[in-house]
Structure 1
Amino acid sequence: MAYSSTIPTLPLDLLQEILYRTPAESLVRAKWTCKEWNGLINKKRFIYEHLRRSPERFLRVDQTVQVLDPVNRTRSDSPIPDELQPSRSNIRAMVHCDGLMLCIWSDKEYCIFDNIALWNPLTRHFNVVEPRLSQEPQRFLMNDSFGIGYDVNKPRGDYKILMFSASHYGEAVVEIYECMSKSWRTLDGSKVDWEVFPSRNGVSVMGNMYWLVKKKTKNYVICFDFSVEAFKKICFCYDLPYDYNNYLGCFEGDKLSLLQQNQDIPSPIEVWVSSKLADGNVSFTRYFSVASPDLPALRFFTSWARDNTRPVYCINAKHKRIIAWYDRVYTGLVLCEIDEGGVSNQLVTAQHYRDVCVATSFCGYVYKPSLVPLP
């Protein structure tokens, strides 16, 4: 009792520092300790500062929602949202932004239509985003692409969702969904004359969205800037095969990483990192490469029978190391570290009890748990 009674008397700056270092999962429970804690933890400034300091997690949707700490190797499981329960095998993609997941999924196995929603896996809040009533058809098409971000010149939390497609009756369609007002509007004059890479591996970084795209015979990284609501080509990429085996990710919070792996056996891995995105003239340089015979197939689809689902990975900048969590048929979920010397520190985090993998092909994502409320 003496310990509990002394906590509220801590100086505010010391209390904040303690709570900043507390995992978001614990803050969900801690905010009910007292009114002071609840008020502090629910403040917008506290939420985003805590998010900035929080380490990355890995998230997968399979039989449950699985969140893995890749450093401490601890894992938690929670129920899948009711809306995704009957269709978890039809999740096309997810995009992470500030602890919120933009989910794109189909509610039927072979359906040309998609649904989209915003989901906070930590708070378990889930909001379906409805298409415009004037939109024909009144559903999202399977080849639509989506992104999420915000205007960096406005208060944080006013999120926007981007939808674009170049195949609506032969015309490019670009629309913005304002999450606060729950309304769609068309961006006139936006030109979409390129194809997004098949993996739909868009990534949200510092409020903007980035994709690998192909235009004729050239490959680019393009950006959608939510502040000015326009697409920008930021970098030309050489020698990228137009397939599922190129992963675009966030690196150190303000850069991009690009992981490549081809179909050769054994299959080498190359990791590239960009210059700072805020600097304007963005370029990629090779960070490191691995050519060990025991490398896993970190690919969406492969002819190798032993590995066939999307990995989750992040790049450890301090040690030049890939930390990957992938599904290996007949083995289970494997967490491993890959550096220039090859694979090390492998750990099976979950076993398979069937002869075939039941996980979805697009179920793994890098994620930061946060208390950011759904708009």
Structure 2
Amino acid sequence: MSEYLSEELAVEILARLTIKDLARFRCVCKTWRNIINSRGFTERHRDISPVKFVSFYDKGFYLLDMEDKHPVIETPRKLDFPLDHQSMIDESTSVLHCDGTLCVTLNNHTLLVWNPSSKRFKIVPNPGIYRDSNILGLGYDPVSNDYKIVTFIDQLGSSTAHVFEFRTGSWRESVRILYPDWYYRERIGAFLDQSLYWIAYRSNVDRFILCFNLSTHEYRKLSLPVYNQGVTCSWLGVTSQKLCITEYVSCEQKIWISVMEKTRSWNKIASLSMSNLISIQDHICDYQVEFVSFTKKNDIVVTFSGDCDNVEMEAEKRVKIKVFLYKTGDNTFQQVRFCNSLAGFRFLSEYVESPVITDHIFI
């Protein structure tokens, strides 16, 4: 760099800037441009940038910041949806995220790949037979230096993995599984270290994780925590660059969170009691945990919904949605409040803005 500023120090300074500033600083000099465009810088920027959450409500997408010192979301940032007809999305829409780019399922059975920062987008066609149960995953393959979308399409007697490669702009058939007899807990796969992960099951007592490698296009089955068997509400995610699983045990009214170590063994890192989130004054019954995720500070975001026991209220008004932030540092809960109505509120995906250049995605 120079005798005054080493490259390592420049990386640490630049990684703390906004995406808008980085777009400007790419033009300062060739060295800065090469640093900002490098994969290593992208990963460093991702590691220290705050996690936000893409939410769908009021017929649009919003960015919610849960790491604010005062968790009262007064003016959530509405994202400019790139299509004219927003009727193509609704509360059933699924959203995937990788390196600042979103992949959104549309009502016409196609996929929209969209970068909210650059406002660039691309329509990806449906690869074949479409069902709402088809699983989806979006991730980066470092071997081919390409982003890929993966879906498994079930046909008579088999299930075939279809992979969309952005460099070729086309789908290709890959792994074929004969006579699959399992189902999936969540449609959206978790991405970590060039692999996608889904929870699969044959029954409540026969469950596993399906892992699909984006580089080799091979799959394998991984074991769940031994105490997970029989748990019906589970979510996969990533925290501190480790695969994590969140489990809600309704009979115990507890949330368990575990991470997978390099040895493929599971380590339980948190246990939360729902009784700490619901006060007597709320009069909520039949509640269900809807979403659990981590912030970059390893605090835990918990969203749940429940029916108010006031039978005189209209059915729609009886449903309550609450969001809490569990501070892992001091083991305290803090409710995240919203200034406007939560009608139609739904968390869809974690989101971290990224400086990575993905020109070949939008060709």
Compute the TM-score of the two structures, normalised by the length of structure 1: 0.74
In the alignment, residue 208 of structure 2 is paired with which amino acid?
A: Y
**Unaligned 5+ residue runs, structure 1?**
1-7, 108-113, 298-303
d(CA) in 1 for partners of 2:25 and 2:304?
Answer: 34
Q: Does 2:238 match 1:250? A: yes
Aligned to 1:149: 139
Which residue of 334, 355, 358 corresponds with 2:323? 334
d(CA) in 1 for partners of 2:85 and 2:293?
Answer: 24
d(CA) in 1 for partners of 2:286 and 2:27?
Answer: 48
Q: CA deviation at 1:21?
A: 0.9
d(CA) in 2 for partners of 1:296 and 1:194?
Answer: 38
Q: Does the 8 Å CA contact 1:212/1:248 hold for their aligned counterparts? A: yes
d(CA) in 2 for partners of 1:312 and 1:37?
Answer: 40
Aligned to 1:272: 258
Q: What pairs with 1:1-375 in structure 2 (closer than 5 Å)?
A: 11=5, 13=7, 14-24=9-19, 26-28=21-23, 30-31=24-25, 39=33, 43-45=37-39, 46-63=41-58, 64-72=60-68, 73=71, 75-82=76-83, 85-107=86-108, 114-132=109-127, 135=128, 137=129, 140-155=130-145, 158-166=146-154, 168-191=155-178, 193-216=180-203, 217-238=205-226, 239-241=228-230, 243=232, 245-253=233-241, 255-264=242-251, 267-276=253-262, 281-295=263-277, 310-311=290-291, 313-314=293-294, 321-324=299-302, 334-337=323-326, 344-352=333-341, 357-360=343-346, 363-372=347-356, 373=358, 375=361
Report the RMSD for the aligned CA atoms in angstroms.
3.7
Q: CA deviation at 1:47?
A: 3.8
Deviation string, structure 1 residues 49-89 (Cα, Å, up to 9, x no partner):
42344332222122343223322257533223326721332
In the alignment, residue 149 of structure 2 is paired with which amino acid?
A: I
Deviation string, structure 1 residues 112-136 (Cα, Å, up to 9, x no partner):
xx3223222322322111135xx4x
Q: Does the 8 Å CA contact 1:220/1:237 hold for their aligned counterparts? A: no
SS at match of 2:94: strand
d(CA) in 1 for partners of 2:6 and 2:57?
Answer: 41
d(CA) in 1 for partners of 2:235 and 2:112?
Answer: 23
In the alignment, residue 147 of structure 1 is paired with which amino acid?
A: G
d(CA) in 1 for partners of 2:85 and 2:230?
Answer: 33
Structure 1 pair 317/69, CA: closer, same or farther in 2 (3 Å)? closer
Q: Does the 8 Å CA contact 1:27/1:41 hold for their aligned counterparts? A: no
In the alignment, residue 223 of structure 1 is paired with which amino acid?
A: C
In the alignment, residue 272 of structure 1 is paired with which amino acid?
A: S
In the alignment, residue 53 of structure 2 is paired with which amino acid?
A: F
Q: CA deviation at 1:32?
A: 8.1
d(CA) in 1 for partners of 2:229 and 2:18?
Answer: 38
d(CA) in 1 for partners of 2:103 and 2:258?
Answer: 26
Q: CA deviation at 1:230?
A: 0.8
**Unaligned 5+ residue runs, structure 2?**
307-316
Structure 1 pair 61/176, CA: closer, same or farther in 2 (3 Å)? same
Structure 1 pair 259/84, CA: closer, same or farther in 2 (3 Å)? farther
d(CA) in 2 for partners of 1:193 and 1:250?
Answer: 27
Deviation string, structure 1 residues 290-320 (Cα, Å, up to 9, x no partner):
22523369xxxxxx678668435216776xx
Q: Does the 8 Å CA contact 2:246/2:292 hold for their aligned counterparts? A: no
In the alignment, residue 314 of structure 1 is paired with which amino acid?
A: F
Q: CA deviation at 1:90?
A: 4.4
Q: Does the 8 Å CA contact 1:190/1:230 hold for their aligned counterparts? A: no
Q: Does the 8 Å CA contact 1:165/1:172 hold for their aligned counterparts? A: yes
Q: Does the 8 Å CA contact 1:95/1:204 hold for their aligned counterparts? A: no
In the alignment, residue 268 of structure 1 is paired with which amino acid?
A: K
In the alignment, residue 324 of structure 1 is paired with which amino acid?
A: V
Q: Percent identity?
A: 20
d(CA) in 2 for partners of 1:283 and 1:152?
Answer: 25
Q: Does the 8 Å CA contact 2:53/2:64 hold for their aligned counterparts? A: yes
d(CA) in 1 for partners of 2:247 and 2:22?
Answer: 37
Q: Does the 8 Å CA contact 1:175/1:185 hold for their aligned counterparts? A: yes
Aligned residues: 333
Deviation string, structure 1 residues 199-258 (Cα, Å, up to 9, x no partner):
324201122101111135411012101121111112244444474x211110211x1111
d(CA) in 1 for partners of 2:84 and 2:292?
Answer: 23
Q: CA deviation at 1:333?
A: 6.4
d(CA) in 2 for partners of 1:151 and 1:215?
Answer: 30
